[in-house]
Structure 1
Amino acid sequence: MKVGILAGGHGTRLAEETEIKPKPMVEIGGRPILWHIMMHYSCYGYNEFVIALGYKGEVIKRYMVDYCSLNSNLTINLKAGRVDLHDTDGIQDWTVELIDTGLHTMTGGRIKRLQPYMGDKTFMLTWGDGVSTVDLARLLAFHRHHGRLITMTAVRPPARYGHMEFDGDRIREFTEKPQTAEGWINGAFFVVEPQVFDYIDGDDTQFEKGPLERLAAEGELMAYKHDGFWQCMDTRRDKFVLEKLWDSGEAPWKTW
């Protein structure tokens, strides 16, 4: 089963980083967040990726082209122009298709442009800026069981401030930055049937608006509720949170 990843956005709220690279290439622990996402899918046996490029897509292309040589030992025959790789056991067995989906294309348009590469079978889909502990095997089983066109992983967003409970004016309980107790949001990590492409008109379609709203109205959009860890990387603060978790050795999304 293929995995589509949208990696073409501008990432304006991470402007300090994204002036020179697309948001999926912003690093956590010395690796792009895109790599972390791909590693999570690979842990469940999903090793075929189709990545929708846009803003500074050439940075992702260069990273993927150079990945093997930068992560293995090399013997280089300068005169023959031949490069032999050694000690490649630690390199992932991935097939990665890099598809230019336009600089200003909306999310739905990017998904639509991946249609020729996804085939006519069920596929996974996610955004290139969020990590999670979602159990992909259970997610797929849930999708197969209900038989609808698309499953969205619903998550509880991390609170951005400490949570307080009061007894009058006395703070009875203080919890620093918990996962919110109520409310669910779109956490991506979709399972999608190919018929969903028919709900997308073209480049100007925002997937979260018309297509998902229509699918919901027709009863074809189901939610897989994930109570575990989920964190997107929209801001510098989000990046700091993820870096701190990684450096502590307790990054929840490190399932490999």
Structure 2
Amino acid sequence: MNPEKNNYDIVLFCGGRGTRLSEKTREMPKPLIELGEYPILWHIMKIYAHNNFNKFVLTLGYKGEMIVDYFLNQYNLTQNLCVKLSDIKIPPAKDDWDISFVQTGIESKTAKRLHICREYIKSETFMATYGDGVADINLESLLKRHKILKEKHGIIATITITRPYSKYGIVKLNEDFVDSFREKPQMDEYINVGFMVLEKEIFDYINEDEDVMFEETLQKIADDGKLGFYIHDGFWHAMDTYKDYEELNEIWKVDPKWKIWND
């Protein structure tokens, strides 16, 4: 593993309300929703840490104090430990992560959140993703693809795309009859699933006085011919709804494809 990778900052969008998952987000921020015994945010960070990316910038918003509390006061208690009651000292967490907790506003949209945490991003090239999606992504290949596109075309952002499976069966009709039926086929169109590599030049496209989604920023970059893509053909799943929450937790029990780490 290339030790240079430690120099890349990873921005994780953690501030949204997650209204489509209100069954859980009434009580906690979406990134803290449990996937197995740990929050989905932890799973995302483990994916990066497995590839030797250990510097994280969390853009906090809705119930952001709960995310801070989890890492400062709860996470280190999930391991086995021994204490002397007359002199209690809680051991440090087993993951050696460098985390910046940045308060980016309760209602801010993602582009504004990214701009607010700009001063905490030290590397000229950095990575970013959403706090609700997991994948068995090859981050080394993603970074290599970005570097090639940057040198060849001058791109300043690379997004990861994949072809999702339809949530519904597709029916083809022939006059009065059903010609064919396909149960939840893979769609032809690609979608952006996060896991982005970005250059600091993207901040030239973000107006600090505007409050817009980062996807609008990406469109501006695409209009200038500076947005690249990386195709991910493996597993990806987001936790958007309660059904997604149930599906991901079932997958975690049976075959967690995104668990690329060993411990």
TM-score, length basis structure 2: 0.87
3-state DSSP of counterpart to 1:239: helix
241 and 167 in structure 1: CA distance in 2 versus 1, 3 angstrom threshold: farther
Identity of aligned residues (%): 37
Alpha-carbon deviation of 1:186? 1.0
Is 1:93 the counterpart of 2:91? The answer is no
Instruction: Name the structure 2 match of 1:241.
Output: 247
Query: Could you tell which deviates more after superposition, 161-170 or 48-57?
Result: 161-170
Query: Could you tell which deviates more after superposition, 192-201 or 134-143?
Result: 192-201
Is 1:113 the counterpart of 2:119? The answer is no
3-state DSSP of counterpart to 1:109: helix
In structure 2, give the amino acid aligned to 1:99: V
75 and 222 in structure 1: CA distance in 2 versus 1, 3 angstrom threshold: same
- Alpha-carbon distance between aligned partners in 2 of 1:131 and 1:146, rounded to the nearest angstrom: 25
Instruction: Name the structure 2 match of 1:251.
Output: 256
Instruction: Name the structure 1 match of 2:238.
Output: 232
Aligned residues: 247
Instruction: Name the structure 2 match of 1:13.
Output: 20
Alpha-carbon deviation of 1:172? 5.4
Instruction: Name the structure 2 match of 1:71.
Output: 79
Q: Which has the higher strand share?
A: 1
In structure 1, give the amino acid aligned to 2:29: P
- Alpha-carbon distance between aligned partners in 2 of 1:39 and 1:236, rounded to the nearest angstrom: 23
161 and 76 in structure 1: CA distance in 2 versus 1, 3 angstrom threshold: farther
Deviations 1:187-246 (A, max 9, x none): 11000001111211126122111x111100111100111121111111011111111111
Instruction: Name the structure 1 match of 2:5.
Output: none
Instruction: Name the structure 1 match of 2:41.
Output: 34
In structure 2, give the amino acid aligned to 1:106: K
Contact 1:158/1:231, CA 8 A, preserved across alignment: no
Contact 1:166/1:173, CA 8 A, preserved across alignment: no
Contact 2:169/2:181, CA 8 A, preserved across alignment: no
3-state DSSP of counterpart to 2:215: coil
TM-score, length basis structure 1: 0.89
In structure 2, give the amino acid aligned to 1:252: K
In structure 1, give the amino acid aligned to 2:110: T
Give the unaligned 5+ runs of structure 1.
none
Alpha-carbon deviation of 1:84? 4.8
3-state DSSP of counterpart to 1:85: coil
In structure 2, give the amino acid aligned to 1:62: D
Aligned CA RMSD, in angstroms, stands at: 2.0
Residue of 176, 179, 186 corresponding to 1:179? 186
Runs of 4+ in 1 over 6 A off after TM superposition: 165-168
